[in-house]
Amino acid sequence: MASKLSSLALHSLLVLALAALLNLASNSLNLKTYFDTSSFSAKPTHNMTVKLYGSPSSTCTRRVATVLKEKNVPYELIPIDLGKGEHKKPEFTSLQPFGQVPVLKDGDFTIYESRAIGRYIALKYGNQGTPGLIPSPSDFEAWGRFEEAASIEQNNFDPFASGISGEKIFKLMRGGTTDEKRVKELTDTLYAKLEAYEVILSKRKYLAGDTITLADLFHLPYGTMITERLGIDALNSKPNVARWWKDITSRPSWQAVKDGA
Ligand SMILES: N[C@@H](CCC(=O)N[C@@H](CS)C(=O)NCC(=O)O)C(=O)O
C-alpha cells in the first residue's frame, strides 16, 4: 500500500514537473512578443536602447553613429551583413523598403535615411551632448543657413566623394572595373567645388556659422574614405578647408566610429 502511495506521489510529481516545463516553454514563446520583431536581434527591446541597424563599416551607418556619439545617445548596433544580402531580405525591407542601411529604431519609432536620422536624433536629444547641431526651426535665419549648408553637402560634395568611392571601391567589390575617366571627372569637379568651400570657410569656422552642425558632420564618412583610403588629398589642399577638415575629423565622436560603428 505504502509503495503504491509513493509511486502515485512520484507520478504526480512528474506530471507537475512536466506541466511546469510546458508552461515555461509557452512563456518563452510568448516572450517573443517582447523581443524585436526582426530576426536580426534576440535582445529584449523593453530597455528602450536605441537600435542602429547597419553595417559597422558602412559610410551611412557611421554617419548616424557619429551623431549618436555627439548627442551622448547609447545605441546597440544590430549588424546587417550586406555581403550576405541581409539588407534585401523581407525582415529588413519591412523596415527599409529600399533595402539599404542604416535604419534606426527608437522605442516604437523607426526611421531610415542617414541624414534624416541625424536630424531626428539632434532634435529629440537636443538637451544632451553637443548643443546646436541643428538650430531651432523658429530661428528662421539659423534654420535657413543650416539647410543651406546641409544642401551643400548633399549636392556639392556627396555625389563626387561617393561617386569616386563607388568607382574605385564598391564597383570592384561587385566584380566590376573602375571607369578612370569618370573618376577624373568626379575628382576635378570635387576640387572645383572645394574652391567654393574655401570661400565660405574663410568667413566662418563651420559651414553654417561659427558652431558645428550636422551639415559638417555629414561629410565625415565619404570625406575620410576618399582621403585616407583613396589618397585623394582634396580636403587638405586649401587652407580653410584643411583647417575645417582637421577640426571635424579630430572630434571624439568620429574617432570613436571611424573604424566601425
Ligand atoms: N540615402 C541613404 C543611402 C543609404 C545607402 O546607400 N546605404 C548603403 C550603405 S552606405 C547600402 O545599403 N548599400 C547597399 C545597397 O544599396 O544595396 C542614406 O543616407 O541612408
For cell 571607369, name the residue. Answer: 179
CA distance 26 to 222: 48
**More reliable by pLDDT, 48 or 74:** 74
Note if the pTM is more than 0.85: no
CA distance 115 to 121: 10
Q: Is 249 exposed, middle or buried (0-12, 13-18, 19+ CB in 10 A)?
A: middle
CA distance 105 to 95: 9
CATH fold for the domain made of 50-124: Glutaredoxin (3.40.30)
Domain ranges within the chain, ordered by starting residue: 50-124, 140-257
What is the residue with the minimal CA distance to atom 13 of ligand 1?
A: 100
Q: How far is the CA of 98 from the centre of ligand 1 (A)?
A: 9
Which is it for strands 75-79 and 50-54: parallel, antiparallel or unpaired?
Answer: parallel
The total number of residues shown for the chain amounts to 261
What is the residue with the minimal CA distance to atom 1 of ligand 1?
A: 113
Q: Does residue 23 carry a pLDDT above 80?
A: no
Q: Which atom of ligand 1 is nearest to the CA of 117?
A: 20
Q: How far is the CA of 242 from the centre of ligand 1 (A)?
A: 27
Q: How far is the CA of 101 from the centre of ligand 1 (A)?
A: 5
Helices 180-203, 239-249: axis angle to 10 degrees equals 90
**Residues within 6 Å of ligand 1 by CB:** 58-60, 82, 87, 99-102, 113-115
Range 140-257 classified under CATH 2.102.10.10: no
**pLDDT tens digits, 182-236:** 999 999 999 999 999 999 999 999 999 999 999 999 999 999 999 999 999 999 9
